[in-house]
Amino acid sequence: MAQDRSFEVAIGREAVSERSFLSQVYLWMAMGLALTGFVAGWMAMNPSVVVAFARNMGLFIVLALVQLGIVFWLSSQILRLSVMTATIGFSIYATLNGILFSTIFLAYTAASIASTFFVSAGMFGAVSVYGFATKRDLTSVGSIAFMGLIGIIIASLVNVFFRNPMLDSIISYVGIVIFIGLTAYDTQKLKSIHHQGFASSDVLAKVALLGALTLYLDFINLFLLLLRVMGRRR
């Protein structure tokens, strides 16, 4: 009986620790999304600035490349960085995303952007809960989704030249399915990472931050793809 009781206590502590870790992940993610939304909204209140930015393709590309560099830097160096440095890097990324996202207000109505955001949040939340709760191993789902992601990236680059509306629609719908799969897989992966344990609270914080970045990217891409499907254009 004593052994059974000790086992139950250990399981309970593990569950509490797991929830605490995932709470950190979602808190960082929510803060990143809030920062992105604030910056995008602030930019949108100055339409002339947004138009000038949208017309400056060179600056747009530079900021996009800086963002890509930050993602690779955080992904590869996270354990070598201090928590403060990683936090600053994540904050800069979310801020730059807000600047870039301000241009969607030129193409879509504010009401459709807001409604699509709530649909995305609901869908993301449901899929993430599934990824956390399911006993099924989603590794194969993650692998297929990643290969599909590469495929739609290539298709999108090709369609830049052909500008085929039908292909664009296919890319959007397939992309939504892909990021639904990635969201479930990434959530389960974070749960698995927690079970491996952490050397210190600093390592836990940095892994939580990297997990937040991963889910942030899943959410943002899901939102953009749904906006292409559901959004009401100006």
Q: What is the pLDDT of residues 31-61, one digit of tens each?
A: 999 999 999 999 999 888 898 888 898 998 9
pLDDT the model gives residue 11: 38
Q: Pick from 31, 23, 163: which is nearest to 97 by CA?
A: 31
Distance of alpha carbon 98 from alpha carbon 107, whole angstroms: 15
What is the pTM assigned to this prediction? 0.89
pLDDT at 166: 92
Give the pLDDT score at 7: 36
Quick check: 106 and 54 in contact, CB under 8 A?
Answer: yes
What per-residue string of b and e applies to 170-207 under the rule 16 or more CB within 10 Å gives b? ebbebbbebbbbbbbbbbbbbbeebeeebeeeeebbbb
Query: What pLDDT is recorded for position 232?
Result: 81
**pLDDT for residue 163:** 84
What pLDDT shows up at residue 68? 93
pLDDT for 16 equals 52
- Are 32 and 213 in contact, with CB atoms under 8 Å apart? yes
∠ CA(152), CA(157), CA(159), 5° rounding? 90
pLDDT score at 8: 38
Using 50 as the pLDDT threshold, list the residues of the chain that sit under it.
Answer: 2-13
DSSP labels, 101-144: HTTHHHHB-HHHHHHHHHHHHHHHHHHHHHHHH--S--HHHHHH
Query: For the range 44-50, what are the long-range contacts, defined as Cβ-Cβ under 8 Å and sequence gap of 24 or more?
Result: 44/102, 44/105, 44/110, 47/105, 47/106, 50/102, 50/103, 50/105, 50/106
